[in-house]
Chains A and B, each alone.
Chain A
Amino acid sequence: EPEVTQTPSHQVTQMGQEVILRCVPISNHLYFYWYRQILGQKVEFLVSFYNNEISEKSEIFDDQFSVERPDGSNFTLKIRSTKLEDSAMYFCASRTSGTYEQYFGPGTRLTVT
């Protein structure tokens, strides 16, 4: 069964460093998303992406964040200068057109020290 994959599973970085989190959505999906879950809190929407542009973004998704689909398979989230409060589990999700079932990857745990 096709699934969303994410790498790395765990990333440790120092405050102020740039990180890139990678996702490979399900191959025939056209809509892509990033969510995050700070430990003990709700899963929160960050951004949605379709047709090579951002469809919607939350207040969390400020200028420090960017997304890109650099090729036909990858979808990346970049955090330009990480802060301690960016420590969280980051989930990528995707869906196909005609349905609103979003399928999630296993997540990348980001730890900012």
Chain B
Amino acid sequence: GEDVEQSLFLSVREGDSSVINCTYTDSSSTYLYWYKQEPGAGLQLLTYIFSNMDMKQDQRLTVLLNKKDKHLSLRIADTQTGDSAIYFCAEMGGDKIIFGKGTRLHILP
């Protein structure tokens, strides 16, 4: 069945780049998403990529998609303390979104 896997924790120094990785199972997914959840807050749609794209850049965010390996990554350049949050990788399954467990990004001073 559909499943999304990602590592649970990532620690990065302030100013460095963060790379959060994810694998998914449904090769027919047309949309892949990254959502951000700050403490006590809801799910914020950060960015998404169509399955016919390899890369999408949006300011400090770069999404890379490797369809052959079903691998998705999110790179955050110049990581700031405000980037501290849980990042959810997700794929579209039919009309619903299938989420990973989330990667908690911790910023070191």
B-binding residues in A (CB < 8 A): 31, 33, 35, 41-45, 48, 55-56, 58, 91, 93, 100-107
Which residues of the other chain, B, contact A91 by a CB distance below 8 angstroms? 42-43
Judged by a CB distance under 8 angstroms, whether B101 is at the interface is yes
- Closest Cβ of chain A to B25, distance in Å, is 14
Do B88 and A43 have beta carbons less than 8 Å apart?
yes
Residues of B within 8 Å of A, CB-based: how many?
Answer: 20
Q: How distant is the Cα of A31 from the Cα of B97 in the complex, in angstroms?
A: 13
Do B43 and A100 have beta carbons less than 8 Å apart?
no
Do B42 and A33 have beta carbons less than 8 Å apart?
no
What DSSP secondary structure best describes chain B's contact surface? strand
Q: How distant is the Cα of A44 from the Cα of B102 in the complex, in angstroms?
A: 12
Do B30 and A100 have beta carbons less than 8 Å apart?
yes
User: Can you add 5 more A-B contacts, CB < 8 Å, to A33-B96, A42-B102, A104-B42?
Assistant: A45-B97, A56-B96, A100-B48, A102-B97, A105-B42
Do B88 and A102 have beta carbons less than 8 Å apart?
no
- Closest Cβ of chain B to A32, distance in Å, is 11
- The answer, among A31, A41, A103, for a CB contact under 8 Å with B101, is A41
Do B98 and A106 have beta carbons less than 8 Å apart?
no
